[in-house]
Structure 1
Amino acid sequence: MNFIERKVSVKRAISVLAKNGIEVDDSEASVILDFLYLIAKNYSKKEEVENAHNPKERSNSLKSTIIEP
């Protein structure tokens, strides 16, 4: 997977991981970044689905239960 608009470089990822006691090389850091970008991409899709219009909320059954005076 290639994420074109990657905002975190491989060297930055290695630096952050090293500060937390995790030693990785360039290829391992690249795999970790790909995984994290994939998770972030799918998370934003989840929010879009949750915010999408739900046609069941506007069912005709609600109209039939309202009794007008």
Structure 2
Amino acid sequence: MNYIEKKISTNKAMAILAKNGIHVNEKETAIILDFLYLMAKYYSVDPCSLDAESLRRYRTQEKW
């Protein structure tokens, strides 16, 4: 997968993951980033359409 403009480098992603206790090598980090870019590409929610009621519907039951 090749994206024209990646906003984060693999080194920065590795540092963020390591800070959160996830230790991966450079190849694994590239796979994770490709997956996240793919998810972001296909995630289509219009932020203007989110109101208080729709946000309440998407919360987990633990927060009720």
TM-score, structure 1 length as denominator? 0.63
| 1:11 corresponds to 2:6 | no
The 5-angstrom pairing of residues 1-69 of structure 1 reads 1-43=1-43, 46-47=44-45
Q: Which runs of 5+ in 2 are unaligned?
A: 50-64
What is the percent sequence identity of the aligned residues?
Answer: 53
Q: Which has the higher contact order (CA 8 A, sep 6+)?
A: 1
TM-score, structure 2 length as denominator? 0.67
Please report the RMSD computed on the Cα atoms of aligned residues, expressed in angstroms.
Answer: 1.5
- Give the 4+ runs in structure 1 shifted more than 6 A: none
Structure with the largest fraction of helix: 1
Q: Which runs of 5+ in 1 are unaligned?
A: 52-69
Q: How many residues align?
A: 47
